[in-house]
Structure 1
Amino acid sequence: MTETPRRKKLIETGIPLKTINKESAREKSLRHGLPSTLHLYWARRPLATTRSILFAQLVDDPSAHPDRFPTVEAQDEERGRLHELMERLAHWENVNDTNLYRQAHQAIMDSTGGGIAVLDPFAGGGSIPLEAQRLGLESHASDLNPLPVILNKALIDFPARFHDRPAVNPNYKGDIGSDAAGMADDIRYYGKLLRDKAFAKVGHLYPKVKDEHGTEHTVIAWIWARTVTNPNPANPVQVPLVRSWWLSKKKGHEAWVKPIIEDGKIRYEVQHNADGPKGNEEGTVNRKGGISIADGTPIDFPYIREESRAGRMGAQLIGVVADGGRGRLYLSPDAQQIAVAACDKPADYPNGDIFDWPGRINVFRYGMTEFADLFTNRQLTVLTTLADTVAEVREQVLRDSLAKGMPQGEPLDAGGTGAQAYADAISVYLSLAVSKQTDYCSNLCSWHTTGEKINHVFTRQAIPMAWDYTEANPFSIRSGNYLGQVNWVAEAIQNVPAQPQGEAQQADAATRDYANVVVSTDPPYYDNIGYSDLSDYFYVWLRRMLKDVLPSTVRTMLTPKAQELVANPYRHGGKEGAAEFFVDGFNHVFAHIRDTANLDVPMTVYYAYKQRDTKNGGSTGWYALLDGLIKAGWEITATWPVRSELSNRLIANGSNALASSIVLACRPRPVDAPSVTMRIFNSVLRSELTEELRTLMASGIDPVDLNQAAIGPGISVYSRYSRIREADGIDMPVQKALEIINRTVDEVMGDADADYDADTRFAVKWYQSYGWAQENTGMADQLARSCGTSPDALVRGGMFEASGGKSRLLTPEELNDEHWHPLRDDRVSLWEACIRMAGILDAKGVDAVAPVMAEAGEIMPLDNIRALGFRMYHEAEKRKDTEGAIRFNNLVSMWDDLDQMSSKETVVRPGVQGELDM
C-alpha cells in the first residue's frame, strides 16, 4: 500500500456538534416526509448526523491550506464559514434549498477534486448513502441482508431512474414531475387501487359495529385477551391473561373492560367511567406471572408456556374500538364480531422458522416457532390478499405506462427504465406498504391507552410476547390502516434527492470490492440487535411479493445468518465464540478496506455506545470495534459523540453517559509506525490531552459530550503506534488504554485547581468528598486551612453554611436569587459565580442570568466560569449527582446565548452615576 499525504479534514479538527445533535434529536419529532417512514429498520442514523459527518469527512480543514489561509485568524474565519454551512445543512427544512446544497457540493469538490464515490458496506436503513446522494455524490450501498438492500434500492436507485417524469395514473393532471413527485403520486393512486381490490375480496371479514343506539360505525380495532385453562382442576374455566383492563385513560373519556363470570364462563363489558381497576387489579398478568380471575389461583409462566406450546392457549374478544367521527368509541364485544373473526386460515401464506434468542425473541418460548404464528387467521387472510393483489396492480401500472407512451423496456432488476421497469418499481413501493402493514397487523400489537392508537410490533428491537393484543382494521381510515402505510411510503419518496443515480447491491462486507470509494459506515452493534432474525418478520412477506420483481435480491428463503457480523451467543457457541466471530470478522473487513479504499479521505465509522455497559464501566462491543480497527492498521484521528436524544433528557433519564452513536474518523497507520513504552505513551497522552481539552471546551461542546469527545485525541495517541509495551513487556490492550485516557482526563481537569481562588479550591475539594451533604466542621476547618481560607470566610463569601458543629456547601437551589449583584458583593469567588448562575438559570431562565453574567464578567474572566462548569459536570457525573449534572450541563450548553445576551447589558459600577438625577 502506498502511503498518501494527509490533508486534515474538518472532522479531524472540529464540528458544530451542538447544532448537529440538536437537529438530530428534533428529527424524531418531524417524521412526515423523512425517508425513515419508507419502512422500519433498526438503529437508523438521523439524516442530520450522516449529512453533517459526510460533509466534515470530505471537506478540508482550512489549516490544510496555509497558502490560502496563512494566519490563524484567517483559518478561524474560514472554519467558521464552513461550520455555519454545516449548521444550515443540519436543518431538515433546508433540504430543498438548492443554493445551499450547491455551495456544499462545491466545497466538497474544492477539497477532493471531484470524482468522489461514497460507500456504506453495512448500509442498513440507508441514511448514509441517501445523504451522500443529497450532497451530489456518487452513492453506493451494500448489505448482506436483502431487506436493507431493497430499502436502499427504493431510496437511491429507483427514484433516480424515473426522476422528473410525470405520473402515469389516469387521475394525474400535472405535467413533468419534480424529482420523484410523479412517482409519489402514482404510489398513492395505485396504493388506493390495491386497497379497494383487496377490500372487494375480503371486506366481509371486517363488518361495521352498532352502538347502543343502533348506529353503525367502522371498527378501528378489536381488543383480544389470550386465555389459558385455570390451573385449579376444580374450576377449569378459560381465564384471560390481560396486562391492563384499561382501553382509554384520557381524562373525560375513560373506558375499561369489566370481566363478568357467569355459569362457569366469562363475558366482558366495556365501562365508561374513571372508576376502573387500579394497582394489582389493573390486569391479570405481569412479569412475575398471572392470576386467575375465577378464583385467585396463581398462574406461573412455566404453566403458561406449557399450555401455549401444547396448542391450548386461546383468545377471547374483550372490547371493540370504533370510529366515532370525532373520537374513539369503546364498545362491548357482540356475537357477530366474535363469529366473523373465526375465519379459516388461508391455504397458502408466507412462513418461516423463528429463531430462539432468549430476551430478544421471547415468543419462541410460547410455542410460536413460525412467523405465521404471529398473526390471527383473519390477519393472515387479509395480508395474503393484499400481497397477492400487488401483482394485479402491477399489470395495471404497466398498461397505464404504455398508454402514456412509455416504451416497454427491460425489467427493473435488469436495469430497465421503461414501462415494465416502472411498473416493477411501483410494485416494490406497494409491497413495502404491505410489509409495513404487518407491523400493525399482528397478534403482538397492543393498544395505547393514552394515545388511543395501535402500538406496532417493533416498539423495541425485539419480538416480545403480548398478552392482550390489538387487531387492526386495515380498511379503516384510522390507526393501523393500509392507506396510511401507502401515504407514509409516498411521502418518503417525494422527499428523496433522486439524483445523481445511486447503486445498491447485496454483498458481504468482508469480500466486496472497495476500490476507489470513500467509506462511511454504520456497522452492526456487537450483540445489541439481531438484524437478520428480526428482518425475517418482514422478509417472508416481501419475498412473496417481489420474487418476480427483484429475483436477484430475494433469492434465499430467509435472510442470511451465518455470515452476519453480530455476536450472537446462540449461533456461535456461547459468548466467547460469539466475541471471537465478531472480532475476527471486523478485523478482516477493516483490513480489507484499508488495502483497497480511497485513502485520501478518512474513513468514518459509527458505533452505538453506552459507557456503562458492563460493571467495570466498559463495553465489550466498543472494545471489540476499537481493537479491530487498530489491529487492522487504522489510526483513529477523532471521535465525536452524536446523539438523537437531547442531553438534558438523557441526564434526566439517568442516562447521561449515553451517546446514541460515536463517530470515529480513521486514517491508515503508516506501515513503519514506531513502538514505544508505556511511559512515553503516558507522557505524550498527557501533553496532547491538556491542549485538546482546552480546545474542545472552547469549541462549544456540551459537558455531557466532553468525556467521549476526549477519547478521540486519547485513542489517537494510542493507535498511532505499532505497539505500546507495558513494564512487563506485553502489549497494552485497548481496555487499559481507555482506562488511562479517562484517568488522564480527570488529572488534566484537576490541573486547573492551582489557578482557582482559595474559596473555589476548597469548594471543589469539598464537593469531591461530600457533595452537598453535611460534614463535621472540624473537617471543614482542616480542608479550608490547606486551601488558604477558613470556614468563616467561606460563610462570608455566601457559599457555605457552618453551624452546630456541621458544615455544608450551599446548593444552586439556595443561591438562585437573580437580584444578586457581584459588583456589590465584597467577596466573590469563581465557585459562587458559577453556582449562582447555574441556580438562577434553572429557577428563573436565561433572561435572569444575563445581567448577573454581565456583572460577573467585570470581576473575573467568563471563560473561567465556563471551564469550572465543565469541571463540575465532570465531578457531578462521577458522584452520580444527576441534578447537579443537569444544572452544570445546562449552564455550559446555554453559554453562547447567555454571553450574547449579557454583552447587551449595561453594567453600572457601585458609586458611578448611571443616569441624570432629575
Structure 2
Amino acid sequence: MTASAPRKKLIEVSIPLEAINAASAREKSIRHGHPSTLHLWWARRPLAACRAVLFSQLVDDPSSWPERFPTEEAQDIERRRLHRVIERMVPWEASNNEEILNDARWEIARSVAWGLGEEPPAKGDGKAILAYLQAKAPPVYDPFSGGGSIPLEAQRLGLRAHGSDINPVAVLIGKALVEIAPKFAGRPPVNPKARKELERGRWNGKGAHGLADDVRYYGQWMRDEAQRRIGHLYPNAVRPDGSEVSVNAWLWARTVRSPDPAAKGAMVPLVSSFMLSTKANSKSWVEVVLDESAPDGWRFEVKSGEMSGAEEERAKLGTKTGRGEFGCILSGSALNDDYIRMQTAAGNGSWRPMAIVAEASKGKQYLPIESAPVPKVSSDLLSFTPDQLMFSGALGFRLQAYGVRTWGEFFRERQIASLTTFAGLIEEAQNLVRSDASQMGEDADDYARSVAAFLICALGRSVDYWTINTMWEPGGEFIIHTFSEMTIPIVWDSAEGNPFALGGGGWNKTCLDWVVRVIDALPLNVAQGAIRNLRAQDIDPPSNVVFSSDPPYFDNIGYADLSDAFYVWERKPLSAVFPELSRRLATPKDDELVATSARHGGPKPARDFFLEGMTTVFERMHRSTSTDPISIYYSYKEKGQVGQGSGWESFLEAIVVPGWQIDASWPLKTERPTRNRSIGKAALASSIVLVCRKRPSDAPIVTRAEFIRALKREMPGAIDAIRKAGVGPVDVQQCIIGPGMGVFSRYAKVLEDDDGGMSVKTALTIINRVWGEIDQELDTAFDAETQVALAWYAAYGFDARASGELITLANAKNISADALFDSEVFENLRGKTALTPREKLPKNWTPMKDRTLTIWECVQHTARVLNAEDGGAEAAAQLVAEMGPAGDQARKLAYRLFAIATHKGWSQEELTYNQLAQEWAHLEDAGTRVASSTTKPAQAAFDL
C-alpha cells in the first residue's frame, strides 16, 4: 500500500466492543472527579467510548499495511494486540495513567508516521510522542462539542482538540475542561493560605492541583461571605428539648383551591408522597391533621416510628388518586389535572412548608415546620429576579401549564436571594484572585478569569439543586437534583436545600467540592485545546481534520430551553470572564439544530430546518477532511418503526446526500439500566456510532432488486452480531439501521422502477421489512410447541381462549393439543386454554431434566428466575448453562417476544424481555463459570 492511498482504520474493521461497553456503563457510576460532574449537560457520551472511538479512528487497521502484516493470521494477531491496548485504556482508572496513555499515544503516532513514510518516536519517550502528535497528527474537531467529552478525550490522547457549540453554557463547560486546566498545569496556588505553605516548602502539587486549591479557597471565601450576608434566611431548627440543629432542607407541598364550595376557598395539598424516610427501623412520614384553628382548616404533622405495611402504602400515595389526579383532604372531591392546571394558571396555587430535614448524629432527623419557620425575604435581596419567559412550546416542559411562565418563578424567593448573592460574589472573588496572583508575578487577569470560570461551574451546580423542582428521596434521604431527566416536569412536593448545610444541597459539599475534584482529576501533559461559540452550520475548520461528534437527536432534547435555567444566573459573572458568552439575555435557540415544532411552525418546517442545517454541517465536514473516516454518535427512539418518523430519516439523509458512505456501525451500551429514565420503561440504553467515509466518485448504481438482495445477503449476520453483543431489544431497531444504511449508502444511486433515485425514507422502510422477514424465517427454526406458543402470544398474550383455537393452531404445526399440555407450555382450563403464566411454572424446572424441552420454556423459566426473589442472575445463568446450544435460540426468541409486546403495547412484558435479552450475554458468561464440571448441556428434541 502506498503512503498516499486511503488506509483502512481499525474502527472500520474491529474494536473490542464488550470491553468498551463495560467501561462505558460502569463509568456512569463514577461520580467524584468525573468531568460530567463539573456542570450538568444532557446526554453526554462516556469518556471511555469517546477515547476508544478516537483511538480506533486514528490507528490503522493492520490490513492497511500488507507489507508489514502479510497474512490474515498476522493481521488478526496485530488486531488483538491493538484491542488489548484499548482494553487497558478505557477503564476510568486509566484516565490519568501516563504509562497506559503513552502506549496508546504511541500507536497513533506510529500510524501517522507510517502514513508519512517516517518512523515514530521511541515508544517509551512520552514527551517526544506528544510533540510528534501535536506537530504531525491531524487535529480533532467536534462541531457539537456540548459537555466537551470528545475534545477532552482527544486532548488526553495527545491530539490537538477543537470544538464548538452554539450554546454559551456548553462553551463555558468545554473551555473549563479543555482550555483552562492545561494552561495552568504545574503552577502553584496563589491564595494567602497556600502562600504560607509555599514559604515553608510544603506544597508538592502537580498538574492542575494549584488551580484546584485556589478554586477551593476562593469558593470557601464566597460561602463564608454569603453566610454573613444571607445566613439569617436559613435559621437553625429548634428541637423539642430546646437545642438547635442545622437544617438540611425544608420540604414543601403544592396547594390548590378546593373545588368544593363547602370548603370556602380553602387551599388543599397536592402531595405525591408523605414518606420522609423509608429506611428500616427509622421510618418517618407526614400526616395531614384537620384542625379548624389552622390556616385553611388543616396542618401537617411529622411522625416517626413503627408503621404497618398498609399505613406505609397509604403514606407513599400522598394525596394522589391517579396520574396527575388528587383528592381534596377536606371534602374528598376529585382534583383532576385539568382543574389543577386551570387553578394554578389563574394564580390560585401556592406552596405550603410541610416538614424540616435536620442533621442528626446518625442520618437525618425530621421536625415540624414550626421548629424553623421560613423567614420572609426582604426586597433588597430580590433586586435581580430572572424575568426571561419560558418558551411555551419547549420540548419536555410542563410547568408553563401550571402557571410557571418565567425563569424567576422557577425559584423560591430564598433561592433567588442565594443565587443572586453567590453570582455576585464570583466577581468579587475574581478581584481577590487578581490581587493575590499579581503578588506572585503571575498573569493575574488571565488566572483570575480561570478561577472564576470554575466558580461559575459551581454556581451551575447550585442552580441544579436550588429550584422548585428538587425532590426528597425518602429511601436514600437525599435531595434529587432538578435535571435528573432531560425535561422539566411538574413536581408536586419539593425539597428546598440549605446553601450553608454541611450535607447534600449545600454550596460546599454539593457544588464547590465536586468542581474541585474534577479539576484535580483532569488529564496531565496534554496539548492546548480550543472551544468556540459558533453555529455548527458555520464551522470552517482547517483541512484534513478528523471529525468526531455527537449531534442533537432531532426532537429528543431541547438543550437551549433547558440550559436557560443556568444561563440566566451565569450570564452576569460570565461577562467578566468570557464576555463573548454573555451578549444575549438567553441562550440562542432559532439556529439550534433541534426540530422543535412549536418554534419552527409545525412538524414539517421543523424537520426541514433540521435537515437543511444538518446537511450543511456534513457538507462542510466533507470539504474539510481528506481520506480519514468520521465518527458520529446518534441515539434516537422513533415512536413507530424506524423510517416511519423523521428523526433517523432526516439525520441519515443529511449524511448520505453530501456524499458520505456508512462504512461501519457500532452499538455502544452507554447507560446504566438503573438510571431514572429507564425505571419502569424500556428506554434506549445504546448509542450508535456511525463510521463514515467519502463515497467513491465511481460508486456503482444499482436497482431496487439488487439493493434488496444485498440486504438479505448481509443483514442476517449483522443482526446476529448485534444481538450477541448484548444489545437489548429496545435498541436493536436503531442498531440495525447502521448495516442496512451501510448497504444503501455505498451506492451512488438505487434506482426505482421509474429510474428515479430511491429516497432514504424508502430505504429505511425496506430495511425494516427485510429485518421482519429475517425474523419470521427464524420462527420456523423453533420447535413446534414454541411456534404454536409464539402464534398464540402474538394473538392473545397470556389470555385464555376457547380450546378450539389452540387445536387449530396445533394442527397447522402438526402437533396435538395434548402434547402442548404435556409440555407445560399451555395449561388446560377445561374448555378453555392459555399459555402457562410464568408464576405457575414449576419452581424446580431445569433444562437437563425436561424430556420435552422447548425454547419457549427456556425463555419463560429464565425470565421467571431472573426476577425471582429466590433466584436472580446466578440461578438464571445456571439455566442458560444447562441449555447448551438451545440457549442461542432462546435468546433469539426473547427478541421476538419483545417485538410482539412492543407492538401490542404490553409495557410490563416489554420490560421483561428487554431485560432478559440484554442480560443474556452476561448470563452465558456467568453460566460458564457457575456450571459444575458434571453439568451436561441439555439436548433438545430438535436439531440445532
Q: Distance in 1 between matches of 2:835 and 2:257?
A: 62
Number of the residue aligned with 2:629: 602
Structure 1 stretches of 5 or more lacking a match? 408-417, 911-918
Alignment of 1:20-169 (within 5 A): 20-113=20-113, 114-169=136-191
Q: Does residue 270 of the first structure (1) align with residue 301 of the second (2)?
A: yes
Q: Does residue 354 of the first structure (1) align with residue 390 of the second (2)?
A: yes
Q: Which moved more, 1:624-633 or 1:762-771?
A: 762-771
Q: Distance in 2 between matches of 1:807 and 1:310?
A: 55
Q: Distance in 1 between matches of 2:394 and 2:577?
A: 35
Number of the residue aligned with 1:414: none
Pair 1:677–1:192, CA change in 2 (3 A): same
Alignment of 1:477-556 (within 5 A): 477-484=502-509, 485-498=511-524, 499-515=526-542, 516-556=544-584
Q: Distance in 1 between matches of 2:189 and 2:893?
A: 60
**Which residue of 620, 623, 631 maps to 2:646?**
620
What is the CA distance between 1:535 and its match in structure 2? 1.1
Number of the residue aligned with 1:375: 411
Q: Distance in 1 between matches of 2:678 and 2:418?
A: 44
1:769-808 CA-partner distances (Å, limit 9, x unpaired): 23597966755764455xxx88899999998999989999
Pair 1:268–1:733, CA change in 2 (3 A): same
Q: Does residue 435 of the first structure (1) align with residue 466 of the second (2)?
A: no
Q: Secondary structure at the match of 2:636?
A: strand
Number of the residue aligned with 2:477: 452
Q: Distance in 2 between matches of 1:167 and 1:423?
A: 11
1:97-120 CA-partner distances (Å, limit 9, x unpaired): 222211211222223344121111
Alignment of 1:250-269 (within 5 A): 250=278, 251=280, 252-263=282-293, 265-266=295-296, 268-269=299-300
Q: Does residue 207 of the first structure (1) align with residue 228 of the second (2)?
A: no
1:594-630 CA-partner distances (Å, limit 9, x unpaired): 112x2322111112222x5237884421111111111
Q: Distance in 1 between matches of 2:190 and 2:574?
A: 21
Number of the residue aligned with 2:129: none
Q: Distance in 2 between matches of 1:743 and 1:21?
A: 29
Q: Distance in 2 between matches of 1:620 and 1:128?
A: 27
Q: Does residue 188 of the first structure (1) align with residue 219 of the second (2)?
A: no
What is the CA distance between 1:433 and its match in structure 2? 1.0
Amino acid at match of 1:44: R
- Given that 1:639 and 1:708 are in contact with CA atoms closer than 8 Å, whether structure 2 keeps it comes out as no
What is the CA distance between 1:891 and its match in structure 2? 3.8
Q: Secondary structure at the match of 1:8?
A: coil
Amino acid at match of 2:566: F
**Which residue of 920, 923, 941 maps to 1:894?**
923
Q: Secondary structure at the match of 1:470?
A: strand
Alignment of 1:325-364 (within 5 A): 325-334=361-370, 337-340=373-376, 345-357=381-393, 360-364=396-400
Q: Distance in 2 between matches of 1:290 and 1:752?
A: 49
Q: Distance in 2 between matches of 1:368 and 1:827?
A: 62
- Given that 2:57 and 2:629 are in contact with CA atoms closer than 8 Å, whether structure 1 keeps it comes out as yes
Q: Does residue 727 of the first structure (1) align with residue 763 of the second (2)?
A: no
Number of the residue aligned with 2:656: 630
- Given that 1:702 and 1:892 are in contact with CA atoms closer than 8 Å, whether structure 2 keeps it comes out as no
Amino acid at match of 1:677: T
Q: Distance in 1 between matches of 2:859 and 2:302?
A: 55
Amino acid at match of 2:244: E
Q: Which moved more, 1:431-440 or 1:268-277?
A: 268-277
Number of the residue aligned with 1:322: 358
- Given that 2:145 and 2:164 are in contact with CA atoms closer than 8 Å, whether structure 1 keeps it comes out as yes
Q: Which moved more, 1:149-158 or 1:773-782?
A: 773-782
Amino acid at match of 1:13: V
Amino acid at match of 2:207: D
What is the CA distance between 1:390 and its match in structure 2? 1.4
Number of the residue aligned with 1:876: 897
Pair 1:217–1:795, CA change in 2 (3 A): closer
Amino acid at match of 1:170: P
- Given that 2:209 and 2:520 are in contact with CA atoms closer than 8 Å, whether structure 1 keeps it comes out as yes
What is the CA distance between 1:332 and its match in structure 2? 1.9
Q: Distance in 2 between matches of 1:704 and 1:104?
A: 34
Structure 2 stretches of 5 or more lacking a match? 114-135, 902-908, 940-944
Alignment of 1:624-773 (within 5 A): 624-646=650-672, 658-693=684-719, 708-748=734-774, 760-763=782-785, 765-771=787-793
Pair 1:657–1:675, CA change in 2 (3 A): farther
- Given that 2:876 and 2:923 are in contact with CA atoms closer than 8 Å, whether structure 1 keeps it comes out as no
- Given that 1:119 and 1:129 are in contact with CA atoms closer than 8 Å, whether structure 2 keeps it comes out as yes
Pair 1:650–1:878, CA change in 2 (3 A): farther
What is the CA distance between 1:160 and its match in structure 2? 0.6
Amino acid at match of 2:426: V
What is the CA distance between 1:280 and its match in structure 2? 10
Q: Distance in 2 between matches of 1:489 and 1:832?
A: 52
Q: Distance in 2 between matches of 1:128 and 1:783?
A: 56
1:308-330 CA-partner distances (Å, limit 9, x unpaired): 55555443333222222323222
Number of the residue aligned with 1:568: 596
TM-score of the aligned structures, taking structure 1 as reference length: 0.86
Supply the RMSD in Å over aligned alpha carbons: 3.9
Pair 1:703–1:562, CA change in 2 (3 A): closer
- Given that 1:818 and 1:849 are in contact with CA atoms closer than 8 Å, whether structure 2 keeps it comes out as no
Q: Distance in 2 between matches of 1:657 and 1:269?
A: 37
What is the CA distance between 1:39 and its match in structure 2? 0.7
TM-score of the aligned structures, taking structure 2 as reference length: 0.84
Number of the residue aligned with 1:411: none
- Given that 1:604 and 1:665 are in contact with CA atoms closer than 8 Å, whether structure 2 keeps it comes out as yes
Q: Distance in 2 between matches of 1:847 and 1:106?
A: 41
Pair 1:578–1:508, CA change in 2 (3 A): same
Q: Distance in 2 between matches of 1:380 and 1:798?
A: 64
Q: Distance in 2 between matches of 1:497 and 1:280?
A: 45
What is the CA distance between 1:149 and its match in structure 2? 0.3
What is the CA distance between 1:812 and its match in structure 2? 9.0
1:360-382 CA-partner distances (Å, limit 9, x unpaired): 33333344332222222222222
Amino acid at match of 1:505: R
What is the CA distance between 1:871 and its match in structure 2? 2.8
Q: Distance in 2 between matches of 1:901 and 1:181?
A: 46
- Given that 1:762 and 1:783 are in contact with CA atoms closer than 8 Å, whether structure 2 keeps it comes out as no
**Which residue of 472, 482, 493 maps to 2:497?**
472
Q: % of aligned pairs identical?
A: 36
Q: Distance in 1 between matches of 2:555 and 2:209?
A: 40
- Given that 2:667 and 2:735 are in contact with CA atoms closer than 8 Å, whether structure 1 keeps it comes out as yes
What is the CA distance between 1:282 and its match in structure 2? 2.0
Q: Which moved more, 1:691-700 or 1:449-458?
A: 691-700
1:175-198 CA-partner distances (Å, limit 9, x unpaired): 353221221122112111110011
Q: Secondary structure at the match of 1:571?
A: helix
What is the CA distance between 1:877 and its match in structure 2? 2.4
Q: Distance in 1 between matches of 2:854 and 2:368?
A: 68
Amino acid at match of 2:299: Y
Q: Which moved more, 1:721-730 or 1:156-165?
A: 721-730
Q: Distance in 2 between matches of 1:878 and 1:679?
A: 27
What is the CA distance between 1:665 and its match in structure 2? 1.1
- Given that 1:869 and 1:891 are in contact with CA atoms closer than 8 Å, whether structure 2 keeps it comes out as no
Amino acid at match of 2:627: D
- Given that 1:270 and 1:330 are in contact with CA atoms closer than 8 Å, whether structure 2 keeps it comes out as no
Q: Distance in 1 between matches of 2:412 and 2:873?
A: 55
Q: Distance in 2 between matches of 1:396 and 1:456?
A: 31
